């Protein structure tokens, strides 16, 4: 395939950089030169194809045996249940029919004695004995008592059956709700599609609905796993288990996953923004710095994100610059950083003036005269 940006130049590689690629990720040799990203972010087409195939093999997405087995097992359970329910319904219907027929036959046997024996002088001795017992009231009274006890028992059985059916329906509806929830999860687009943002406030504002507990969970998980590439790590770990500790009665797993996706997109934008390249504490950035401070001052969720950026410096060196700038903004806004868990953070070329006390911080410094004063 030929490059659409440079005539007669074949596409030779694929861009894998975490940004919105101006060349739609298809690069010729000239595109690679103009692209402005590290060479290791440009992968030859053949190698990229092999990487994709390997990834598919690693996750065994092309092996449908287990999926087919579980689907067949589910179908078998449903089919067996349907067959058993049908048999139970048939047996129950037949039993109920026979019982009421027997009661009706017994009732009819008494009335038939009168209709058949119109001439009592010609009646058999057996029929006369029955008629005498009817007149005396003993046999018919016994039958009535027996009949009503049967009817009462049948009513009790019917009510018990009805309660059992209602419980079965309720349980089935709960199962159906769970299946519908899974279907909804499968239909959900995993968060928002990544869009390149140039405005710093717009990037920061994109994570305003993120709870600080999610940031804490991410940091704890990455430190425990000793991760060095935060975006790659949390992008790979989009699974249910990772989010169990974040889910509560107010948030579903899909809500948390969408918020994680927002964080990933914000971090990708931050990496490409001057906020991660320039020292915002310097005079040349004063206008933009003050403008951002004016917009975000007092906004707790954005302040939480800035604290998150500071903490990321202890995990991923790519965030040292933006984390340093984030700390600078926090100090300038006089945010109380007392008791913050800024463990092993790394700050670069930032003149910090403000309060950073009682924080139990272990510092790793890169050219930071002010920080060197802290012990």
Top pLDDT among 336 and 351 is at 336
Contact predicate 230/267, CB 8 Å = yes
Say how far apart CA 112 and CA 119 lie, in whole Å. Answer: 13
SS3 state at 352: coil
Q: Poorest-confidence range of 46-55, 113-122, 361-370?
A: 361-370
CB atoms within 10 A of CB 31: 24
Top pLDDT among 117 and 41 is at 41
pLDDT digits (tens, 9 = 90+) for 246-263: 655 456 667 777 888 889
CA gyration radius, the chain: 39
User: Is the confidence at residue 113, as pLDDT, over 50?
Assistant: yes
User: Is the confidence at residue 110, as pLDDT, over 60?
Assistant: yes
Say how far apart CA 69 and CA 63 lie, in whole Å. Answer: 11
Contacts of 219 by beta carbon, 8 Å cutoff, 6+ apart: 308, 311, 312, 315, 341
Backbone angles phi, psi at 10, to 5 degrees: -75, 150
Contact predicate 197/269, CB 8 Å = yes
Per-residue pLDDT, averaged over 113-132, amounts to: 71
Q: Is the pTM of this model over 0.95?
A: no
pLDDT at 357: 39
Look at residues 143, 162, 145, 147 and name the one whose alpha carbon lies nearest to residue 99: 147
Q: Poorest-confidence range of 7-16, 22-31, 316-325, 360-369?
A: 360-369
Say how far apart CA 9 and CA 227 lie, in whole Å. Answer: 39
User: Which residues does residue 346 pair with via DSSP β-bridges, in sequence order?
Assistant: 364
User: Which residues does residue 2 pair with via DSSP β-bridges, in sequence order?
Assistant: 10
Q: In sequence order, which ranges of the chain are alpha helices (DSSP H)?
A: 29-35, 45-59, 65-116, 125-136, 138-187, 200-205, 212-225, 230-236, 240-243, 253-272, 286-296, 300-312, 320-332
Top pLDDT among 243 and 257 is at 257
């Amino acid at each position: 395939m030929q490059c659409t940006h440079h005539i007669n130049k074949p596409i030779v590689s694929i861009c894998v950089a975490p940004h919105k690629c101006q060349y739609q990720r298809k690069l010729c040799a000239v595109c690679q030169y103009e692209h402005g990203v590290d060479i290791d972010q440009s992968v030859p087409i053949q190698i990229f194809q092999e990487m994709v195939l390997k990834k598919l093999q690693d996750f065994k997405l092309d092996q449908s045996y287990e999926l087919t087995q579980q689907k067949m097992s589910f179908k078998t359970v449903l089919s067996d249940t349907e067959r058993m329910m049908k048999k139970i319904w048939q047996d129950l219907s037949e039993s109920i029919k026979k019982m009421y027929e027997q009661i009706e036959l017994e009732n009819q046997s008494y009335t038939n004695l009168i209709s058949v024996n119109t001439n009592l002088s010609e009646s058999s001795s057996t029929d006369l004995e029955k008629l005498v017992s009817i007149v005396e009231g003993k046999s018919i009274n016994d039958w009535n008592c027996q009949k009503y006890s049967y009817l009462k028992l049948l009513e009790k059985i019917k009510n018990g059956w009805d309660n059992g059916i209602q419980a079965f329906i309720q349980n089935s509806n709960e199962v159906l709700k769970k299946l519908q929830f899974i279907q909804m999860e499968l239909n959900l687009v995993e968060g928002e599609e990544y869009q390149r943002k140039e405005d710093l406030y717009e990037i920061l504002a994109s994570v305003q609905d993120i709870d600080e507990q999610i940031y804490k969970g991410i940091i704890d998980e990455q430190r425990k796993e000793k991760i060095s590439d935060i975006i790659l790590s949390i992008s790979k770990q989009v699974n249910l288990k990772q989010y169990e500790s974040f889910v509560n009665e107010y948030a579903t797993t899909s809500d948390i996953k969408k918020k994680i996706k927002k964080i990933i997109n914000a971090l990708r934008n931050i990496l490409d923004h001057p906020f991660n390249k320039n020292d915002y504490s310097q005079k040349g950035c004063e206008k933009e710095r003050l403008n951002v401070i004016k917009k975000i001052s007092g906004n707790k969720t954005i302040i939480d994100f800035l604290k998150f950026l500071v903490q990321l410096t202890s995990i991923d060196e790519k965030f040292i610059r933006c984390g340093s700038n984030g700390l600078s903004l926090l100090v300038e806004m006089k945010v109380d950083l007392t008791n913050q868990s800024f463990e092993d953070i790394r700050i670069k070329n930032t003149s910090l003036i403000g309060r950073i006390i009682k924080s139990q911080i272990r510092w790793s410094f890169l050219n930071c005269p002010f920080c060197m004063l802290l012990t």
